[in-house]
Chain A
Amino acid sequence: MSALATRDLRVRFGATEVLKGVNLDVQPGQVTALIGPSGCGKSTILRCFNRMNDHLAGFSHSGQVLATGRDVYDPGWPVEELRFKVGMVFQKPNPFPLSIRENVLFGPRLAGIADKGRLEQILETSLRRAQIWDEVKDRVDSSAFDLSGGQQQRLCIARGLACEPDILLLDEPASALDPIATARLEETILALAETVTVLLVTHNLQQAGRVAQRTVFLYLGALVEEGETTAMFTNPRERLTEDYLTGRFG
């Protein structure tokens, strides 16, 4: 069963059709990269899986969106619970104006977990999984704003992990980071793939090549090609993919 899937997904914002019938399957337990030129609908697909598009003006869709095999618009599945199962990290680090501890525990507290020992355990596990524990363990009560950009982004990953999601959506998580912070982040993403399914939107083809087992190429709201990253990068099936990968447009 696919961790994430869409069936003939069409999305409109007002009069503009952004996704034109996409059928996508994301395999569990690995990193899948979504690539494509700006405006091709990568982020829109990503935001469909945790229904973040619902808040945007003019959004309408048809077709099915499935997460862990279940329709995300199932009326019996509250959107808050869906978002617990499907976490998300954004382009720019967006820590809350709280301490590092309270940032990480934001989700668990919303879920009503109040047991101190349990919360401490979640804090440490999440920060360890996001590979930031060693850097912040002595100052978890200081403000999240005191961290560097790369640390903030890994904190945001830890914040997502604290909800123990099955799936993590990463929306160009390294676009605001310098090369060294990016490398650290990629290590983290690779390590995460052992326990959660990661869907990564990226502009950076090398990044997709480094971290993703599978890659999906989108162009103008349609899925062009999908396959093993190495296979696709060395031997693309479609002409369009080859043109994009070789930098003829994009």
Chain B
Amino acid sequence: MSALRGWLAEGTPQRFLTAAAVVLSLAMIAGLVVLVVETAGSFFWPHPLVALRLVDGTRLLGEEWGREADPRSPGQQRVRLKLGNRDLTGTDFLWVRGSEVVQRAYPADAWLLERREYGNFYGTAVALERGETRLAPGDPAFRRTLDDELASVRRLLAEQRSVLGSADRAHSGVARLQLKVASAERRGLAADELKARLAVAQSAETTATGPLWQRLDTVRLELDRATLRMRTAAGQDVTVPLQKVVRAIPVNTLGFGAKLGLYFGRWWEFVSAEPRESNTEGGIFPALFGTAMMVMLMTLAVVPLGVVTAVYLNEYARDNFFTRAVRLALANLAGVPSIVFGAFGLAFFVYTVGGGIDRMFFSDTLPTPTFGTGGILWASLTLALLTVPVVVIATEEGLQSVPQAVRDGARALGATRWQTLRRVVLPYAAPGILTGAILALARGAGEVAPLMVTGVVKLAPNLPFDRTAPFLHLERKFMHLGFHIYDVGFQSPNVEAAKPMVYATVLVLLLLVVALNLAAIVLRNRLRRKLRSSAV
């Protein structure tokens, strides 16, 4: 009995229990990281194209996306094949029983086409046709011509986008005037002067856009010129317009270097391109951009507000019932479910503030811009509200850490209370303030729920920052990595195909949060080094 008590008093089991808790936490985090990195990391690596002939004579061509024990015939395996060609067959995936396969090959003439619509195409190339010329895959010029054509497609598509953008910008003045005319007529006001201005603007637009439409016609003709004739595994001939093709790759003939290039090319496309096929393919650039911009706007809003609040509470307010109540409320606010903040943000920022702005300034020109619906500004402000307790608490801790001797030193030199605060106390508390900002940033970057009701959308046609005046469009809806994960993973029409995209997006989100945190931590540590405690 006393031996047991001694053992407990000495603390050996407690030591093991605490160590076990650490190990468990580490294991969970490591498991998450390994799962995400492995799944996301292998997704972009080119899978070999396997050609199968089945017992019933069916021929299949596709990528192997996993295998498992066949539940119906023990000892056998079954393979999950990504067949692509969704426009032809309607299914993307197929389970194939090992027992049904008679022949298995990795044909060198199998091609993978990554398309802008309908996902991947798998098949053999028959010919590259452009006007009168027709090149067979055996032709030595085939590969080079194909690459040239794909490059020219990319160029033409970029030009088409830029021409359409110019036309849009040329039209924006007319659109605004049209709205004003309509609004004036609705209210029974004289609109003659407006109509005259509208006519002038319209004729100016016609002059400006005439050459643009001509150019667009040429570009479209140019885009339609080249096609790839392909044959599926089942023997069906298909014509694929080259403008629908992102990449054409004879996967099975690639060497290691080419695979590596393709791998990093796909990663680059993933972080830099627009999404395709309801987000299940292409890139996540708008979501990445939206997340980074939202977090920055939030930081801009939350840090000054939180710091000023903490300065008042800590430096000016007396310690009385009111300040204690405020501190308690702040601490509790940090624990309120985030969707509650979302609901508040929707009611207050979007409907009340945003609606008010619309009524006061933009009632003639709605719907561009509209502040009375969700937008990046309202989402950022909602998150700022959500994270303000974190900043206040951390800043207060920073302010409390400033030695009285240093404050006295400034006062003794004739500094007023404000001068002491501004020139000595705040610099001293800066690491604490930055810690608060880091915590707020980490919390804000990871929130999704409040954003869903205050401005995040599945697919935003424009970034909140572009070349149309006034360049920064804070009222626009935006895309967000966290919501993107939810949308692609759980709302997508093609969940199986999108699963690796989810992991890749998770990886990017984690990296973004880590990068933002690291930047803030580096900044804080540099400040800390400057402030490291004196020798005494």
Chain A residues with CB under 8 Å of chain B are 50, 52, 55, 79-84, 87-88, 90-98, 106-107, 110-111, 143, 145, 147-149, 152, 156, 159-160, 163, 176-177
Asked if B411 and A96 sit within 8 Å, CB to CB, the answer is: no
Q: Does B186 contact A (CB under 8 A)?
A: no
User: B530 touching A107 by the CB < 8 A rule?
Assistant: no
B412 and A50 contact, CB distance less than 8 A: yes
List, sorted by A's number, 11 A–B pairs whose CB atoms are closer than 8 Å.
A55-B408, A81-B414, A82-B414, A88-B412, A92-B405, A96-B410, A96-B423, A106-B410, A143-B530, A149-B534, A152-B536
Q: Does B42 contact A (CB under 8 A)?
A: no
B33 contacts A by Cβ under 8 Å:
no
> CA of A145 to CA of B405 in the docked complex: distance in angstroms?
15
* In the complex, chain A residues whose CB is within 8 Å of the CB of B424: 96-97
Residues of B within 8 A of A147 (CB): 534-535
Contact in complex: A98, B427 (CB < 8 Å): yes
Min Cβ gap A135→B in Å is 14
A94-B406, A94-B408, A110-B419 known; A160 vs B532 contact (CB < 8 Å): no
Q: Which residues of B in the span 349-397 have a Cβ within 8 Å of any Cβ on A? A: none
Given contacts A110-B414, A145-B531, A163-B414, are A96 and B409 in contact (CB under 8 A)?
yes
Residues of A within 8 A of B415 (CB): 80, 106, 110
Partner among B416, B423, B534 whose Cβ is within 8 Å of the Cβ of A93 = B534
Residues of A within 8 A of B406 (CB): 94-96
Known: A110-B414, A163-B414. A156 touches B531 (CB 8 A): no
B411 touches A87 (CB 8 A): no
Given the complex, which residues of B lie within 8 Å of A81, measured CB to CB?
A: 414
Give Cα A143–Cα B530 distance, bound, in whole angstroms: 6
Given contacts A96-B406, A160-B412, 5 further A-B contacts (CB under 8 A): A52-B408, A95-B534, A96-B410, A149-B535, A156-B409
A34 to chain B, nearest CB (A): 17
Name the residue on B nearest A149 (C-beta).
Answer: B536
Whether the pair B405, A90 counts as a contact (CB closer than 8 A) is yes
Cα-based distance from A106 to B406 in the complex (angstroms): 13
Q: Is the CB of A80 within 8 A of B405?
A: no
Q: Which of B405, B414, B419, B530 has most chain A Cβ within 10 Å?
A: B414
Interface size in chain B (residues, C-beta < 8 A): 25
Q: Mark each residue of chain B from 523 to 536: 1 if its CB lies under 8 Å from any CB of chain A, else 0.
A: 00000001111111
Which A residues lie within 8 Å of B530 (CB)?
97, 143, 145
Chain B interface mostly: helix
- B-chain residues with CB within 8 Å of residue A160 when the two chains form the complex: 412-413
Q: Is the CB of A52 within 8 A of B534?
A: no
Residue of A nearest to B403 (CB): A94
Q: Is B428 an interface residue (CB 8 A)?
A: yes
For the complex formed, measure the closest distance between the CB of B423 and the CB atoms of chain A, giving whole angstroms.
7
Contact A97 B536 (CB under 8 A): no
Q: Which residues of A contact B408 (CB under 8 A)?
A: 52, 55, 90, 94
Minimum CB–CB distance for A93 against chain B, Å: 6
Contact assessment for A80 and B414 in the assembled complex, using a CB-CB cutoff below 8 Å: yes
Q: A145-B534, A149-B534 are in contact. Are A97 and B413 (CB under 8 A)?
A: no
Q: How far is the CB of B400 from chain A (nearest CB, A)?
A: 16
Question: Which B residue's beta carbon lies closest to that of A148?
Answer: B535
- Select B413's contact among A91, A145, A163, beta carbons within 8 Å: A163
B residues in contact with A88, CB < 8 Å: 412
The distance in angstroms between the C-alpha atoms of A148 and B536, with both chains bound, is 8
| Chain A residue, CB-CB nearest to B428 | A97
Q: Which residue of B lies closest to A78 (CB)?
A: B414
- What CA separation (Å) do A110 and B409 show in the bound complex? 13
C-alpha gap A98/B428 in the complex (Å): 9
Candidate in A52, A79, A110, A149 with the most chain B CB atoms within 10 angstroms: A110
Least CB distance from B345 to A in Å reads 37
Picked from B413, B416, B534, the residue with its CB within 8 Å of the CB of A106 is B413
Interchain CA distance A1-B358 in the complex, whole Å:
73
| A-B pairs with lowest CB-CB distance, top 10 | A149-B536, A83-B414, A94-B405, A88-B412, A80-B414, A94-B409, A107-B413, A84-B414, A97-B427, A149-B535
* Cβ-defined contact, A97 with B412, below 8 A: no
Chain B residues with Cβ under 8 A from A111's Cβ? 414
A111–B415 CA distance with the chains assembled, in angstroms: 9
Contacts A94-B403, A94-B406 given; does A55 touch B411 at CB 8 Å: yes
* Interface residues as binary, B428-443 with A (CB distance below 8 Å gives 1, 0 otherwise): 1010000000000000
Once bound together, how far apart are the Cα atoms of A50 and B427, in whole Å? 25
Q: Inside 8 A of A159's CB, which chain B residues have their CB?
A: 409, 413
Residues of A within 8 A of B430 (CB): 97
B415 to A: closest C-beta gap in Å: 6
* Residue among B403, B410, B413, B430 having the largest count of chain A Cβ atoms under 10 Å: B413
Residues of B within 8 A of A97 (CB): 424, 427-428, 430, 530-531
Shortest C-beta distance, A127 to chain B (Å), equals: 16
Residues of B within 8 A of A98 (CB): 423, 427
Distance A96 CA – B413 CA, assembled complex (angstroms): 12
Which residue of chain A lies nearest to B532 when distances are taken between CB atoms in the complex? A145
The answer to whether B536 and A93 touch across the interface, beta carbons within 8 angstroms, is yes
Closest CB-CB distance, B444 to chain A, in whole Å? 28
Q: B120 → chain A, closest Cβ, in Å?
A: 59
Contacts known (A92-B405, A96-B424, A97-B531); A52 close to B536, Cβ less than 8 A: no
Separation in Å of the B414 CB from the closest CB of chain A?
A: 4
> Which residues does chain A contribute within 8 Å of B410, judged by CB atoms?
96, 106
Chain A residue with Cβ nearest B427: A97
Q: What's the minimum C-beta distance from A50 to chain B, rounded to whole angstroms?
A: 6
With the chains together, A121 CA to B325 CA distance in Å?
51
Closest to A79 in B: B414
Selected contact of A110 from candidates B413, B531, B532, CB within 8 Å: B413
Q: Give the CA-CA distance A8 to B167 in the complex, in Å.
A: 88
What A residues does B403 contact at CB under 8 A? 94
Nearest CB on A from B236, distance (A): 75
The answer to whether B423 and A83 touch across the interface, beta carbons within 8 angstroms, is no
Q: With A and B bound together, what is the CA distance between A110 and B424 in angstroms?
A: 12
User: If A94-B406, A110-B419, A143-B530 touch, does A87 touch B412 (CB 8 Å cutoff)?
Assistant: yes
A106 CA to B411 CA in the complex, in Å? 11
Closest A residue to B417 using CB positions = A55
Check B531–A87 contact: CB distance below 8 A: no
B185-203 at interface with A (beta carbon < 8 Å): none
* B93 → chain A closest CB, angstroms: 62
- Residue pair A80, B409 in contact (C-beta under 8 Å): no
Flag if B411 contacts A83 (CB, 8 Å).
yes
Chain A residue nearest in CB terms to B426 = A97
Nearest-neighbor residue (CB-CB) of B415 within chain A? A110
Q: Are A152 and B412 in contact (CB under 8 A)?
A: no
Kindly report which residue of chain B lies nearest to residue A142, judged by CB atoms.
Answer: B530
A33 CB to nearest B CB, Å: 20
Is the beta-carbon distance between A87 and B536 smaller than 8 angstroms? no
The interface residues of chain A lying within 8 Å CB-to-CB of B534 are: 93, 95, 145, 147, 149, 152
A107 and B414 contact, Cβ closer than 8 Å, known pairs A143-B530, A156-B409: yes
The answer to whether A52 and B411 have CB atoms under 8 Å apart is yes
Complex alpha-carbon distance, A147 and B533, angstroms? 11
Taking a contact as CB atoms under 8 Å apart, the answer to whether A83 and B413 are in contact is: yes
Q: Which of B411, B412, B416 has the most chain A CB atoms closer than 10 A to its own CB?
A: B412
